[in-house]
Structure 1
């Protein structure tokens, strides 16, 4: 049973924590302090790389029987990775680049089971295509000047005011929020089943 294990989330994201509590998992929050290094421009590879760095950083000092979840989300518009905006102007530019078009959201997840005889590591990336309605310059400006886009990859939150501009998605909604919880739960279940057989 997953609930028999201590689960640690290597992230301070309130959205990831809410998504996990939605599926009855209440992890210990221990944000990673690692300096993130990306060695690729391929969005799927970049998020898996970052999620692994975060999970490994936090797993180093865990007791046996702990599962660490590391995650990283990026938005990619026409192949270009969009991180969190550093200014409202940058938020405007990011949104302008994908309004009226389809872009991708990738979340990389690494699960590390800390066992008495070493660790088990699983990494994967989930992709969701997001279709955005055309927006006027005024609509972009009003949204970009708000605080909502400032702590979010790609400068928007699908679960916030930006929902007004979402035409539809192909893939997992929770992935766009920051963690594909269905896939996370299934992977956790497999880790636990393997450990129980061992």
Structure 2
């Protein structure tokens, strides 16, 4: 069992996301949360998983000097890739509306990258899930944004919320990945790292 293998390791989750913290708890992992702010900007030439890989990796930089030999630092980033561009976290209602309207009636990809760092290695993995929205009405988009204020979510929505229940027709790939953490890959990669 992974929990037994990790007993001599200190797991650090560098994420303020309640969803990611909840997944760690659900996986029965002992961990601590450490937060440092990082400016989430990326070079314009990067596409798809290259963006989330890059952002997950730069989030690890402020912690590297303080890692001890038995620490495993985990950073991650989730992006939405639609029409050959990244949809990040909307700054306001107008941006959230534009994002959801652009995805309405089409498919997009949700990509999460996870970076694992110790004093000796750095490894980054990523996972892509294809999500299809049915055609959403303007009233539905307005209702969702007004009631759920999804400004902390890539693409301006949370799949586990109302809009996911009424609007998503099809998912190809990991559901937890769309929520911000591909738990199956996290578990496997951690197992490989400490075996």
TM-score by length of 1: 0.91
Q: CA RMSD in A?
A: 1.3
Q: Which runs of 5+ in 1 are unaligned?
A: 194-198
Q: What's the counterpart of residue 30 of structure 2?
A: 26
8 Å CA contact 2:67–2:118 kept in 1: the answer is no
Q: CA deviation at 1:144?
A: 2.2
CA distance, structure 2, for counterparts of residue 59 and residue 160 of structure 1: 35
8 Å CA contact 1:6–1:65 kept in 2: the answer is yes
Deviations along 1:90-127, one digit per CA (max 9) or x if unpaired, are 1110000001111000111110123xxxx211112110
The yes-or-no answer on 1:183 pairing with 2:185 is: yes
Alignment counterpart, residue 53 of structure 1, candidates 55, 58, 65: 58
Q: CA deviation at 1:50?
A: 0.7
Indicate the larger mover: 126-135 or 36-45: 36-45
Q: Which runs of 5+ in 2 are unaligned?
A: none
Q: CA deviation at 1:46?
A: 0.7
Q: What's the counterpart of residue 90 of structure 2?
A: 85
Q: What's the counterpart of residue 196 of structure 1?
A: none
Deviations along 1:34-85, one digit per CA (max 9) or x if unpaired, are 3233124302101001101112322321221000001000111112100111
CA distance, structure 2, for counterparts of residue 90 and residue 37 of structure 1: 18
The yes-or-no answer on 1:127 pairing with 2:121 is: no
Q: Say which SS state the counterpart of residue 149 (structure 1) adopts.
A: coil
